[in-house]
Amino acid sequence: MLQQPPLIDPFARAITYLRVSVTDRCDFRCVYCMAENMTFLPKKELLTLEELDRLCSAFIGLGVRKLRITGGEPLVRRDILTFFRSIGRHLDTGALDEVTLTTNGSQLERFADDLAAAGVRRVNVSLDTLDAEKFARVTRWGRLGQVLSGIDAAQEAGLRIKINTVALKGFNEEELFDLVDWCASRDMDLTFIEVMPMGDLGNEDRVGQYWSVRDVRARLEERFTTVDLAERTGGPARYVRLEETGQKIGFITPLSHNFCESCNRVRLTCTGELFMCLGQEDMADLRGPLRAHPDDDAPLAEAIRAAIALKPKGHDFDYSRQTPDGQVSRHMSHTGG
């Protein structure tokens, strides 16, 4: 692959990380992510797996070093393993540093060995509670035992697991230390995420759900000694180490701390829309040039560069006035987290 000049946005940030939603569909209906009776995109609007591969390869040719595959739930996309196996060629050549996955864990028991064989080494599993009844309530359709079995299978396959937990006021506050202890016992890192104002979820109270991750950290420091880590992924997480357990804890704080100054990522949807910022509505259509020029990647690369030139400085999420200011209309499952 011919390497081209890197992608640099208007604020001198190099874009080296692409998050790719391969489907908007999911087998859960988490209350902060989507409505229970979701209307999903018609399947004919989705890019084929071959088209997704071509788009990802174009980004890799422009300097992207990391792909994260998301959804919806990526592992419910039919024949998704063919995509992982194909994109793995860029790992073999060294053009790509890693392919990672964010999942709800429901299908991990089925796919863990094959994912590892395709070159996946790290998986983020979204898990907000260890209580089976509460898990069923927050996911609406999910079963905790299925996810825990998936985590077991992933670890047995040699995959490194990180747990992502959305901090939800009045829901998992009492489980804070249980989650930390459980992750420590399994040698898993843990990241807490503030709930973000995305999508119209009907009766869900965004402000009422909001539990500041600053408060989460303060609670942790009642029991643990935290040491700030210099580690940066270019993304939103800030990390500490708990001295007593040695584990790494991440905090993603789109509301209590705007994390955009070092943003190195963009998000590609399963329909070929490129969102330059999770918290803004602006997007670029890449499906058009992709399909209009099936044998020429130059117009696609040009369209990608034009989109990156429009990347904003940051998002506008804000709950400080007790309203979900900066809310964007699309659901998280559409953008891909």
Q: What is the pLDDT of residue 123?
A: 98
CATH for the stretch 17-335: 3.20.20.70
Pairing relation of β-strands 226-228 and 189-194? Answer: unpaired
CA-closest candidate to residue 272, choices 84, 38, 58, 6? 58
* pLDDT over threshold 90, residue 337: no
* pLDDT over threshold 90, residue 259: no
Rounded average pLDDT over 260-278: 88
What mean pLDDT is reported for the chain? 88
Whole-prediction pTM: 0.87
* pLDDT over threshold 70, residue 129: yes
* pLDDT over threshold 50, residue 317: no
- The response to whether 265 counts as a known ligand-binding position is yes
- The response to whether 33 counts as a known ligand-binding position is yes
Q: What is the pLDDT of residue 286?
A: 97
- The response to whether 56 counts as a known ligand-binding position is no
Alpha-carbon separation of residue 251 from 17, 246, 269, 337 (angstroms): 19, 16, 25, 15
- The response to whether 89 counts as a known ligand-binding position is no
Residue 108 CB burial class (10 angstroms; 0-12, 13-18, ≥19): buried
Rounded average pLDDT over 11-27: 95
- Quote the Cα angle for 2-50-77, to 5°: 135
- The response to whether 269 counts as a known ligand-binding position is no
- The response to whether 120 counts as a known ligand-binding position is no
Q: Provide the CB-side half-sphere exposure for 129 (13 A, CA).
A: 20
- The response to whether 126 counts as a known ligand-binding position is yes
Tokens of 153: 């299978």
Question: Model confidence over 78-94: pLDDT tens digits?
Answer: 999 999 999 999 999 99
Q: Which residue has the tokens 């990380």?
A: 17
- Quote the Cα angle for 140-142-146, to 5°: 170
Rounded average pLDDT over 278-284: 77
- The response to whether 196 counts as a known ligand-binding position is yes
How do the domains of the chain map onto residue ranges? 17-335
The region of weakest confidence among 21-25, 73-77, 147-151, 323-327 is 323-327
- The response to whether 68 counts as a known ligand-binding position is yes
More confident residue, 28 or 32: 28
Percent of the chain residues topping a pLDDT of 70: 83
Rounded average pLDDT over 188-193: 95
More confident residue, 80 or 209: 80
Distance, in Å, from the CA atom of 172 to the CA atom of 162, rounded to the nearest integer, reads 18
Q: What is the pLDDT of residue 39?
A: 87
Q: What is the pLDDT of residue 152?
A: 98
Question: Model confidence over 215-253: pLDDT tens digits?
Answer: 999 999 999 999 999 876 656 788 999 999 999 999 987
Q: What is the pLDDT of residue 208?
A: 62
Tokens of 241: 């180490």
- The response to whether 38 counts as a known ligand-binding position is no
- The response to whether 267 counts as a known ligand-binding position is yes
More confident residue, 197 or 115: 115
- The response to whether 19 counts as a known ligand-binding position is yes
Q: What is the pLDDT of residue 87?
A: 98
- The response to whether 26 counts as a known ligand-binding position is yes
